[in-house]
Amino acid sequence: MKKDFDILTVFEDRWALATAGTLEDYNTCTIGWGSLGTVWGKSTATIYINELRYTNEYVQKNDYFTISFFP
């Protein structure tokens, strides 16, 4: 898959949304800090969500979350 962004600066250059939860109950928030890369050959994503944000509860309760980037 061809990427149309620079993975090293994507969090600096674009706004992103983090979503966590289930199909029936989920929450989304904007995020401005994070990183994308690889560790031991596996793709990784690190995001930082303030513990006071409602979405943080969903991230803590669930095994997965999504990150969406917009132009």
Instruction: Give me the tens of pLDDT residue by residue for the chain, a chain 71 residues long.
Output: 566 667 667 777 777 899 999 999 999 999 988 888 889 999 888 999 999 999 999 999 999 999 998 77
Burial class of residue 19, CB neighbours in 10 A (0-12, 13-18, 19+): middle
Compute the distance between CA of residue 71 and CA of residue 43 in angstroms, rounded to an integer.
22
pTM, entire model? 0.79
